[in-house]
Amino acid sequence: MASHRRPQQQKRAYPTVFAATAAALAISAQSAQADPLPDPTKKGVKAQVDRLYEQATQATETYNGAKEKQKTLRKQADTLQDSVARGRKELNSLRSSLGSVASAQYRGGGLDPSLQLLLSSEPDDYLGKASNLERVSSRQAGVMRQAQAKQRSLDQQRRQATAKLGELADSRAELAAKKRLIQGKLAEAQRLLNTLSAEERAKMAEEEQRADRSSERVDLGDEASASSRGAAAFSAAKSRVGMPYVWSASGPNSFDCSGLTSWAFKQAGISIPRTSQQQAEVGTRINSLGDLRPGDLIIMRTDLSHVGFYAGNGQILHAPKPGANVRYESIARSGMPFMWGVRL
């Protein structure tokens, strides 16, 4: 009889287990409704936007380099064209001088064949005929040699100017392509932001505002600058805190990263290159974060595409990215690897 009652007790236990399981599921469901899991879509969008902003800032430094190259080419082309214009005037003056001699000879009984050759459409052919040199005076020969040399120089300068203008056209096309790349990344970032709700966008904006507010309360310590030039540039940069990041801007009311540093040093009376990659190669290199002093430049990212000022107490003063303002931030929390410092 006992062996018969044991299985009956097991059967009575099943409803209890089912009830407990159902209750647990109900509690779990209520908990899930009351405390929803974080939205992975929002995090994914923010990560993508941050990545696009990073790519845009990297492309901006490449754009800045192309823009500086274009300025150099434009100056070189202008110089060559000015030289060509001056050379043409000098050549015309020499030809005019020889033309006066030719007129005098014509009035005196005929035009010297040597001058006929020089004043022809191919005057350089004259000096190739050495026998004709004997038929002009030494003064005429000297003037004609000057004219020939000037013509050759002028032709060379014209070729150089044409080549430089071709480089300039290529540079303009390169610049336009890089501009489209940057604008495309910023547009894609905006498109992603537009997929978020107004509340989510407001939260992201609040994060940036919080970062700006914390910049106002930052503790920079009492470290002294290592150079008067760095101190003066850093002082100028501090006056720009709160100004917006704008790609390829170099002040005074908006900046990209290297635009801020080059502008600040300019206020201190010092000219430094425009791009972060170029700024990485000036001055004295400081390899350790611990050896940096306020006013030293900080070169960030493996491609050297970001730069700012060391501000003291582990802080960087920089123009970080689109949508942000010039501000202080912890180097450790910037998300960008430190490469080295530069002291001027």
d(CA 185, CA 183): 5
Helix axes 40-107, 257-267, angle to 10 degrees: 60
Helix 40-107 to helix 138-194 angle (10° resolution) is 160
3-class secondary-structure state, position 95: helix
* Residue 201 among the catalytic residues: no
- Encoded amino acid at 241, one letter: V
At 118 the three-state DSSP class reads: helix
Other CB atoms within 10 A of residue 79 CB = 14
77, 257, 286, 344: the active-site residue:
257
Q: How far is Cα 304 from Cα 308, in angstroms, rounded to an integer? A: 11
Q: Looking at this protein, which amino acid is placed at residue 45?
A: V
Return d(Cα 207, Cα 42) in angstroms, integer: 14
Closest to 132 in 3D by CA, of 140, 97, 106: 140
4 as an active site residue: the answer is no
Q: List strands edge to edge, sheet with 306-312.
A: 284-286, 338-343, 297-300, 306-312, 315-318, 327-330
Q: Output the CA angle 60-63-68, nearest 5 degrees.
A: 130
Let me know the angle formed at the C-alpha of 296 by 295 and 300, rounded to the nearest 5 degrees: 125
Can you tell me the distance from the alpha carbon of 317 to that of 254, in angstroms, rounded to the nearest whole number? 14
What phi, psi does 337 have (nearest 5°)?
-70, 135
Q: Of 67, 95, 306, 343, which one is the catalytic site residue?
A: 306
Of 318, 321, 327, 343, catalytic? 318
Residue 151 amino acid letter: Q
- With CA atoms as reference, report the closest residue to 160 among 92, 172, 176, 152: 152
Q: Give the DSSP letter of residue 251.
A: S
Residue numbers annotated as active site = 257, 306, 318
